[in-house]
Amino acid sequence: MIIKNFSLYNFRNYNEQKIDFQQGINLLIGSNGQGKTNILEGINYLLTGKSYRVKQENELILWGKDKFYLQASCLVNDRLIKLESYYETGKKVMKINQLACKRLSDYVGTVNAVFFSPDDLNIIKKSPNERRRFLDILIAQVKPAHVSLLNSYLKIIKQKNILLRHEKRIDLLKGQIQAWNEQLVEIGSKIIINRGVFTEKLNNYCRTIFKSIFSVDDDIDLVYSSLGKKDINEALSIFPEILEIKMMLEIEKKTVIIGPHRDDLLIDLNGKAAKLFASQGQQRSMVLCLKLAEMEIILKEKGDYPILLLDDVLSELDEFRREYLIEYIDSANKQTIITMTGADQKIVNRKKAVYQVTNGSIRREE
Ligand SMILES: Nc1ncnc2c1ncn2[C@@H]1O[C@H](COP(=O)(O)OP(=O)(O)O)[C@@H](O)[C@H]1O
Ligand SMILES: [Mg+2]
């Protein structure tokens, strides 16, 4: 997949800007605070319909303005696709080839991107929430209906939580919880299955890739742990029963305890939890491995490589892994947009285009 050109109007620190991108490596160079990340955020927003940085679109509007507009012409399997996104306080419109999409699930995954920034170390280091999010974003890219499932699930959890907090009459409460639980099992099981299936796909790619970027003696292992079980089928078969068993506990705690919103993607290095035992360098290699596996899954499912967005990550990788990554990008001339503060000669030698980013303005170098 290729983003041929990208335009921003009143997005972050850009007033009006158009950029033509090339196949292969595109370098965005500029000192801190100039707007490099904002460009990647804009592209990522346009492709996914969501910001990975903020919950409120208002924050994306150029200060002092009241709307933003993004647009790109892309190629997917050599087919031209025009994406547009428009936001004006409270109103959000996403269009594919001039047609407005009613739901995010009709829009997301049309053009795919894999985004990689230093913050992605959180996938390994931080809470299960980060890992579920990583997995859900990947699934949504190739199976957009997953977004609708997640939305329905969130609504159920929200309603059940309201009930647990406010209904004081215990018999009434139990009956209503049972009704919500039926829906929770129906939607929740589909989410568990999706996540389980994609974890297996990821694991297969990761195991091979990791040996090339780390060492043949080291093993990465991913397991989706649902309802405390490492076996998805076991989790699915006990799901209704656990909800029954834990009902009194949920009533006591006044919150939903059981369900895939509490699941985790376990990431091990040589049989031990990477979060606790892997070094910082090993964790970085593992994240790189997850991202490359994501690229391969999208290629397999969509027949075309996604656009790779690398925000300040090259400087964080050691020489060997940086070389590996650049070779990987170069091998199929994958479109990659890389931000960095200074020009690294090795990358500049392979680049197709260099852009200088200065205070919300972009100029291509000849
Ligand atoms: N909504 C906004 N309107 C105007 N400027 C913004 C907005 N949000 C962020 N900025 C500015 O964008 C700049 C940060 O851009 P960023 O892309 O993160 O920089 P970098 O080049 O370091 O990646 C900061 O100067 C910040 O003040
Ligand atoms: Mg930045």
Last residue within a domain, chosen from 252, 280, 304: 304
Nearest protein CA to atom 14 of ligand 1, as residue: 33
Ligand 1 contact, 34 CB (< 6 A): yes
Q: Give dist(CA 358, CA 352) in Å, integer.
A: 20
Q: Which amino acid is at 182?
A: E
Within this chain, do residues 2 and 78 fall inside the same structural domain, yes or no?
yes
Same-domain check for residues 262 and 165: yes
Full domain range(s) for residue 184? 119-304
Q: Does residue 254 share a domain with residue 232?
A: yes
Q: Which pLDDT score, from 0 to 100, does residue 349 have? A: 84
Question: Taking the CA atoms of the chain, what radius of gyration do you get in angstroms?
Answer: 22
Contact call for residues 214 and 154 (beta carbons, < 8 A): no
Residues 133 and 274 in one domain: yes
Ligand 1 pocket test: pick from 8, 9, 11, 12 the residue with the most ligand atoms within 8 Å of its Cβ.
12
Q: Among 289, 304, 319, identify where a domain stops.
A: 304
Establish whether residue 102 lines the binding site of ligand 1, counting it when its CB lies within 6 angstroms of any ligand atom. no
CATH number at residue 88: 3.40.50.300
For residues 296 and 231, membership in a common domain is answered with yes
Residue in the structure block whose two tokens are 């997953």: 146
Output the CA 247–ligand 2 centroid distance in Å.
Answer: 46
Same structural domain, 260 and 124: yes
CB proximity list for 247: less than 8 A, separation 6 or greater: 174, 177, 181
- Looking at 304, 322, 341, which one is the last position of a domain? 304
Q: Assess whether 174 and 285 both reside in one domain.
A: yes
Atom of ligand 1 nearest to the CA of 359: 25
Q: Do 127 and 158 share a structural domain?
A: yes
Which amino acid is located at 251 in the chain?
A: I
Total domains present in the chain: 2
Is residue 177 located within the same domain as residue 319?
no
Residue given tokens 């035992």 in the structure block: 277
Same domain, 12 and 149: no
- Each of the 366 residues of the chain gets a pLDDT tens digit; together they read 999 999 999 999 999 999 999 999 999 999 999 999 999 999 999 999 999 889 899 999 999 999 999 999 999 999 999 999 999 988 999 999 999 999 999 999 999 999 999 999 999 999 999 999 999 999 999 999 999 999 999 999 999 999 999 998 999 999 999 999 999 999 999 999 999 999 999 999 999 999 999 888 999 999 999 999 999 999 999 999 999 999 999 999 999 999 999 999 999 999 999 999 999 999 999 999 999 999 999 999 999 999 999 999 998 999 999 999 999 999 988 999 999 998 778 888 888 899 999 999 999 998
Spell out the residues 6+ positions from residue 294 whose beta carbon is closer than 8 angstroms to its own. 114, 138, 202, 306
Residues 184 and 288 in one domain: yes
118 CB less than 6 Å from ligand 1?
Answer: no
Structure tokens at 328: 């990987």
Residue type, 240: P
176 and 230, same structural domain? yes
User: What is the pLDDT, as a whole number, of residue 345?
Assistant: 80
Instruction: Please count the CA atoms within 13 angstroms of the CA of 206 that sit on its side-chain side.
Output: 23
* Ligand nearest to the Cα of 87, by number: 1
13 lines ligand 1 (CB under 6 A): yes
What's the pLDDT at 157? 98
**Ligand 1 neighbourhood includes 331 CB (under 6 angstroms):** no
CA distance 103 to 350: 40
